[in-house]
């Protein structure tokens, strides 16, 4: 141990950047020299191993809550165990979890304002106020309701929809980042919608901006399912609608523009499936469709196998230049991680505990636009070869929405 303790900092940093985050954290307890190296490792912004496997961040059932209000719970697939990590004072459980991107959790506070939180380090970054969105205003004076509570008003096609501050976040669909938010030029894309009013909002901002820029087309009569940045480009991202239309948005210039990349040939039933966009490590864009299906449970109740909800997935590669979709039946040694978070495609070549050519999903059901406590809680893994899915048994709080988080030590 004495020999290991006197390794130079440069060599230690080379070792640490190859390790998964749990092992990096454990390394800080070896000795003072290693603890200092771990500190330098994230302070110098060195890249961690790019195969970091996402954790599922969740809130356990209320009866299992721990005594630390500023703690976060994570389930590690590769280790098949949960972690509880205490954070510096940064609210986690008192906030709505919108999703995650680039290792940062996207949260909404009690006024539905958005914040980025690194759940490992506790670092936090505020995003522009939602009142700077074109369609949203805050009423705090003569138009307040009788209870004296301020309201948000959402102006939709000539109608006004009112929300108490903590409820506006129920219309937030997805927030994704172009890069780590501590990088210069990092861009945030923000989807929000009110389907019953046929309303879809799409906005963007650079980290550090004080206002959202609203993107618009002639009409927003369809709903977006997903948004993703590609190839580390801060000025270009892709969206996909429920009908399967893939669009590319270009933020360069004074007036952002979009173009249709893929136009679906057949009309798909509205709400029949959830769609995701995923970038592969080689830079390809994948379009993934998830469908709900009924299947026999693996377990028996009173001697009988019962039906349960399962999922199937279809993967296609988007040929951006021609607008074609090519079927993908084999991901090789890669796996997909899908849910409310940024969609991920990760190599499992060095992770024998997980299954390549599979889809790991969390809340992969179609959006039902119901209160969080009424939505499905589905975690599982689906084989693209056998077309079978297996549930991951994890007890979570019925009022929470678990998300995949790719651990990062950036502050």
Check which CATH number belongs to the domain holding 61 and give it.
2.120.10
Same domain, 130 and 44: no
In the chain, how many H helices and how many E strands? 4, 28
Which of the four pLDDT bands, split at 50, 70 and 90, describes residue 246? very high
Q: Look at residues 61, 1, 72 and name the one whose alpha carbon lies nearest to residue 398.
A: 61
Return the pLDDT at 179.
92
**Quick one: pLDDT at residue 366?**
43
CA dihedral of residues 133, 139, 141, 144 (deg, nearest 10): 180
State the residue for tokens 């929000």.
192
State which of 13, 29, 49 marks the end of a domain.
Answer: 49
Per-residue DSSP letter, 67? S
Q: pLDDT tens digit string along 289-317?
A: 998 776 655 555 556 655 566 788 999 99
Same domain, 36 and 134: no
pLDDT in tens, 44-78: 455 555 567 899 988 777 655 555 666 778 888 88
State phi, psi for 30 to the nearest 5 degrees. -70, -50
- For residue 40, give its domain range: 1-49
Residue with tokens 């369809």: 222
Asked whether residue 211 falls in the same domain as residue 71, the answer is yes
Q: Is the Cβ–Cβ distance between 327 and 392 less than 8 Å? A: no
Top pLDDT among 322 and 305 is at: 322
Does pLDDT of 240 surpass 80? yes
DSSP-derived secondary structure letter, 47: P
- Considering the domain architecture, whether residues 138 and 276 belong to the same structural domain is answered as yes
- Report yes or no on 180 lying in a domain: yes
Count of beta carbons in the 10 Å neighbourhood of residue 330: 10
Domain-located, residue 411: no
Res. 374 pLDDT band, cuts 50 70 90? very low
Q: What is the pLDDT of residues 140-168, one digit of tens each?
A: 665 555 555 678 888 877 778 888 888 88
Task: Clarify whether residues 5 and 78 are in a common domain.
Answer: no
Give the CA dihedral 106, 112, 113, 117, nearest 10 degrees: -30
The token duo for 31 is 């000795």
Burial class of residue 303 in the structure, from the number of CB atoms within 10 Å of its CB (0-12 exposed, 13-18 middle, 19+ buried): exposed
**Is the pLDDT assigned to residue 373 strictly greater than 50?**
no
Domain count, the chain: 2
Co-location of 54 and 42 in the same domain = no
**Residue 260 and residue 154 share a domain:** yes
pTM, rounded to two decimals: 0.86
CA distance linking residue 368 with residue 173, whole number of Å: 12
Between these two residues, 309 and 118, which has the higher pLDDT value? 118
Q: How far apart are CA 106 and CA 118, in angstroms?
A: 9
Average of per-residue pLDDT across 219-226: 74
Q: Residue 40: what pLDDT? A: 65
Whether residues 274 and 335 share a domain: the answer is yes
pLDDT at 368 over 50: no
Contact of 179 with 232, CB cutoff 8 Å = yes
Determine the Cα–Cα distance for residues 382 and 175; give it in Å rounded to an integer: 25
Residue (of 148, 133, 250) closest to 194 by Cα position: 133
Between residues 284 and 18, the one the model is more confident about: 284
């Amino acid at each position: 141990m004495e020999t290991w303790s006197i390794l130079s900092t440069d060599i230690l940093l080379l070792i640490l950047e190859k390790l998964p985050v749990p092992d990096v954290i454990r390394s800080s307890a070896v000795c003072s020299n290693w603890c200092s190296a771990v500190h330098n490792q994230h302070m110098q912004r060195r890249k961690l191993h790019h195969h970091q496997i996402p954790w599922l961040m969740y809130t356990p059932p209320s009866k299992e809550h721990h005594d630390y209000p500023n703690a976060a719970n994570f389930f590690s697939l590769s280790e098949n165990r949960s972690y509880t990590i205490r954070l510096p004072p940064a609210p986690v459980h008192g906030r709505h979890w919108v999703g995650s991107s680039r290792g940062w959790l996207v949260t909404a506070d009690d006024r539905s304002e958005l914040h980025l939180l690194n759940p490992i380090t506790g670092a936090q970054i505020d995003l522009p106020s939602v009142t700077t969105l074109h369609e949203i205003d805050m009423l705090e004076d003569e138009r307040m309701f009788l209870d004296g509570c301020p309201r948000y008003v959402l102006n939709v096609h000539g109608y006004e929809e009112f929300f108490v501050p903590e409820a506006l976040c129920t219309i937030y669909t997805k927030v994704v980042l172009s890069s780590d938010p501590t990088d210069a030029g990092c861009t945030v894309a923000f989807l929000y919608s009110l389907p019953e009013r046929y309303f879809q909002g799409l906005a963007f901002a650079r980290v550090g901006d004080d206002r959202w820029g609203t993107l618009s087309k002639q009409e927003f009569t369809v709903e977006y399912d997903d948004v993703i940045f590609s190839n580390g480009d801060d000025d270009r991202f892709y969206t996909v609608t429920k009908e399967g239309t893939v669009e590319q948005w270009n933020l360069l210039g004074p007036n952002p523009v979009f173009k249709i990349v893929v136009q679906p040939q057949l009309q798909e039933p509205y709400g029949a499936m959830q769609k995701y966009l995923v970038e592969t490590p080689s830079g390809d864009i994948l379009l993934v469709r998830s469908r709900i299906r009924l299947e026999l449970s693996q377990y028996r109740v009173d001697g009988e196998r019962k039906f349960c909800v399962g999922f199937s997935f279809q993967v296609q590669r988007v040929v951006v230049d021609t607008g074609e979709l090519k079927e993908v039946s084999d991901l090789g040694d890669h796996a997909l991680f899908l849910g409310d978070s940024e969609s991920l495609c990760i190599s499992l070549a060095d992770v024998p505990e997980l299954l390549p050519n599979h889809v790991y999903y969390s809340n992969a059901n179609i959006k039902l636009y119901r209160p969080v406590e009424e939505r499905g809680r589905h975690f599982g893994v689906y084989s693209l070869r056998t077309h079978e899915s297996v549930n991951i048994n994890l007890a979570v709080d019925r009022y929470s929405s678990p998300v995949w988080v790719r651990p990062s030590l950036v502050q």
